Amino acid sequence: MITKNKAIFLDRDGVLNDEMGDYVWKPEEFRICLGVPESLARLKAAGYYLVVVTNQAGIAKKLYAAADVLACHAKLQDACGYVLDALYFSDAHPSVSESILRKPDSGMLEKAVARFNLDVSQCWIVGDRYRDMEAGAKVGVRGILVGETEVAAFAPRVADLQAATEVILMLRTSCSARAS
């Protein structure tokens, strides 16, 4: 029997780095949120793949290029000790182009499920928008909403990634204890 893996899907802006208006694409303005490196290290140590899934519509709108996104991702990886296993982004925007990769569609998550042989029942998505929760729900992934931006009745809300990490690890521990 092939063992399936588990992952945490992470929205980027507002979860991993500070939200700074409509678009965050300049590496010199890209600020990692407090506690993110430590939270990612804890999740990694618990055996989760860490997968960033982010909409980057500014590319479709020609406000910035994919190279700018990749530069921000390089800064993120460096600040977090290179624990992120994959960083996917959708460069589409409905006013310009369509893509099944753009959240609330689930294409980025589906790519990771196939690539890392994931058991979606053991996965989570942490995001700051309802569309993040929708993308997770489409593939059967539980969600945790961070911040105060939106409401999703089917997902718990916490302050930040540090609090989301506590919820995930607490539930993982309590589920493991019940199974034994």
Active site residues: 11, 13
Is 168 buried (19+), middle (13-18) or exposed (0-12) by CB count in 10 A? buried
Helix (H), strand (E) at residue 8: strand 6-10
Token code pair at residue 27: 């590496």
Instruction: For residues 72 and 24, give the distance between their C-alpha atoms in angstroms, rounded to a whole number.
Output: 9
C-beta of residue 125 within 8 angstroms of C-beta of residue 7 = no
> Phi and psi for 159 in degrees, rounded to 5?
-70, -40
Instruction: For residues 29 and 103, give the distance between their C-alpha atoms in angstroms, rounded to a whole number.
Output: 24
